[in-house]
């Protein structure tokens, strides 16, 4: 077998949700967009629903359909992109709840599916999705007359606790929602960590569930183990990999492992990451190829059968740092080629 194994620890996922839930006095939902941040929306949703999560959020109606199939009727499945043209049948048949973000979307929803639930997304400064203050003021009465399930907005800088944008958006959200009777939601993972002022009635953590920054106390959820395809001796002066970027300075033992940038391990990480044999670190050498990485295993007693790349010692955030990106992008890039193993 020459495919890497992505092990997803559903028990750790559930503990991360519980730990975030324990930081608030309100309800805690779960964001499982982008196939559960790359880890498998159906399995993630089932594990969390089993642990008591009743509200889920996805990016698109199509994602919501998959989650509904996995969960069956009951849990609320909310859609951040709202009610797009062509979504009506799926929203209706699969009991999805669009978070409408404009007057157009709200009208589309109440005209095509009168009486069916929806939430309202407000823009409080991020300028990405949601009604702006003037737009909201114009339709607030009509919207409230339809009993929206949620009024929500999203923070742009919540992973930087001291950023003035946080207070600014909190103030805007508080003003725009003053006196509403519908439940309110502002915080994702970062917002939960900003404290109770940001929690309102419902929080919407995503990345923290999957073990990523800014939830520093999160447990690792994703583990990647890669088979060794071949080991060889390399003499002083010989090179390894594309473009000859690594030259042996001493007689070396080199392992070639079966994962590469096509598995979401960015080429740019190169020699900034390590791979692990148990807790022994082994340097990456040469370029990361599409399907393979070279590893210096000279210091191991025996040739390894497998090596680990995503471990509690080398987290998604450490890989992200080595690649100049964020943990979210590492997780959602892991790709389809892994053999996925779910453990609970
Ligand atoms: C992705 C997203 C979340 C979850 O954010 P995390 O930072 O992953 O916790 C919550 N709300 C909205 C609107 C989002 O787009």
pLDDT in tens, 32-42: 999 999 999 99
Taking the C-alpha atoms of residue 53 and residue 206, their distance in angstroms, rounded to an integer, is: 13
Distance of CA 88 from the midpoint of ligand 1 (Å): 24
Q: Is 188 in the pocket of ligand 1 (CB under 6 A)?
A: yes
Residue 1, pLDDT > 80, answer no
Among 33, 37, 261, 328, the one annotated catalytic:
33
Q: Is 58 in the pocket of ligand 1 (CB under 6 A)?
A: no
Residue 182, pLDDT > 80, answer yes
pLDDT in tens, 183-238: 999 999 999 999 999 999 999 999 999 999 999 999 999 999 999 999 999 999 99
Residue 99, pLDDT > 80, answer yes
pLDDT in tens, 219-230: 999 999 999 999
Q: Is 189 in the pocket of ligand 1 (CB under 6 A)?
A: yes
Distance of CA 204 from the midpoint of ligand 1 (Å): 6
**124-140 average pLDDT score:** 97
Q: What DSSP string runs through 36-81?
A: HHTT-HHHHHHHHHHTT--EEEESSHHHHHHHHHHH-SSSEEEETT
Distance of CA 336 from the midpoint of ligand 1 (Å): 23
Q: Is 215 in the pocket of ligand 1 (CB under 6 A)?
A: no
pLDDT score for 328: 98
Mutational test site, ligand 1, from 30, 97, 192, 204, max ligand atoms within 8 Å of CB = 204
Residue 275, pLDDT > 90, answer yes
Residue 256, pLDDT > 80, answer yes
Determine the topology of domain 222-343 in CATH.
Lyase, Ornithine Decarboxylase; Chain A, domain 1 (2.40.37)
Domain ranges of the chain: 10-210, 222-343
Cα 325 to the chain's mean position, in Å?
A: 14
pLDDT score for 116: 98
Known catalytic membership, residue 261: no
Q: What is the DSSP letter of 122?
A: B
Residue nearest to atom 12 of ligand 1 (CA): 154
Residue 246, pLDDT > 80, answer yes
Taking the C-alpha atoms of residue 30 and residue 86, their distance in angstroms, rounded to an integer, is: 25
Residue nearest to atom 6 of ligand 1 (CA): 206
**314-325 average pLDDT score:** 98
pLDDT score for 335: 87
Q: Is 105 in the pocket of ligand 1 (CB under 6 A)?
A: no
Q: Is 31 in the pocket of ligand 1 (CB under 6 A)?
A: yes
Distance of CA 342 from the midpoint of ligand 1 (Å): 24
Taking the C-alpha atoms of residue 204 and residue 72, their distance in angstroms, rounded to an integer, is: 21
Taking the C-alpha atoms of residue 75 and residue 95, their distance in angstroms, rounded to an integer, is: 10
Tell me how crowded residue 4 is: count the other CB atoms within 10 A of its CB.
26
> Which CATH architecture fits 10-210?
Alpha-Beta Barrel (3.20)
Residue 105, pLDDT > 90, answer yes
Distance of CA 333 from the midpoint of ligand 1 (Å): 17
Nearest of 270, 271, 282, 339 to residue 311 by alpha carbon: 282
pLDDT score for 2: 84
Mutational test site, ligand 1, from 31, 160, 202, max ligand atoms within 8 Å of CB = 31
Cα 4 to the chain's mean position, in Å?
A: 20
Known catalytic membership, residue 33: yes
**18-44 average pLDDT score:** 98
Taking the C-alpha atoms of residue 87 and residue 169, their distance in angstroms, rounded to an integer, is: 30
Closest ligand 1 atom to Cα of 205: 9
Q: Is 207 in the pocket of ligand 1 (CB under 6 A)?
A: yes
Q: Is 204 in the pocket of ligand 1 (CB under 6 A)?
A: yes
Distance of CA 207 from the midpoint of ligand 1 (Å): 8
**230-254 average pLDDT score:** 98
Closest ligand 1 atom to Cα of 99: 13
Q: State the chain's mean pLDDT as an integer.
A: 97
């Amino acid at each position: 077998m020459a495919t890497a194994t992505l092990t997803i620890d559903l028990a750790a996922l559930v503990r991360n949700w519980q730990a975030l839930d324990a930081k608030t006095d309100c309800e805690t939902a779960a964001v499982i967009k982008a196939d559960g941040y790359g880890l498998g929306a159906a399995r993630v949703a089932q594990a969390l629903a089993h642990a008591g999560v009743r509200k889920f959020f996805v990016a698109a109606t199509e994602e919501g359909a998959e989650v509904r199939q996995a969960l069956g009727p009951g849990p609320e499945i909310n859609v951040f992109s709202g009610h797009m043209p062509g979504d009506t049948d799926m929203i209706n048949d699969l009991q999805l709840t669009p978070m409408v973000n404009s007057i157009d979307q709200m009208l589309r929803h109440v005209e095509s599916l009168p009486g069916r639930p929806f939430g309202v997304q407000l823009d409080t400064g991020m300028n990405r999705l949601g009604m702006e203050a003037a737009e909201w003021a114009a339709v607030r009465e009509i919207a409230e007359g339809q009993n929206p399930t949620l009024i929500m907005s999203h923070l742009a800088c919540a992973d930087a606790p001291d950023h003035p944008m946080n207070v600014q958006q909190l103030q805007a959200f508080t003003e725009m929602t003053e006196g509403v009777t519908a439940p309110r939601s502002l915080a994702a993972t970062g917002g939960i960590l900003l404290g109770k002022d940001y929690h309102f009635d419902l929080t919407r953590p995503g990345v923290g569930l999957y073990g990523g920054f800014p939830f520093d106390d999160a447990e690792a959820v994703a583990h990647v183990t890669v088979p060794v395809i071949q080991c060889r001796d390399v003499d002083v002066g010989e090179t390894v990999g594309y473009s000859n970027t690594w030259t042996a300075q001493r007689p070396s033992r080199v392992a070639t492992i079966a994962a590469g940038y096509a598995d979401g391990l960015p080429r740019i990480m190169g020699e900034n990451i390590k791979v692990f044999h148990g807790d022994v670190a082994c340097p990456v050498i040469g370029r990361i190829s599409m399907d393979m990485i070279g590893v210096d295993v000279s210091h191991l007693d025996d040739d390894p059968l497998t090596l680990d790349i995503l471990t509690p010692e080398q987290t998604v955030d450490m890989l992200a740092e080595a690649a100049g990106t964020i943990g979210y992008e590492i997780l959602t890039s892991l790709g389809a080629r892994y053999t996925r193993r779910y453990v609970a």
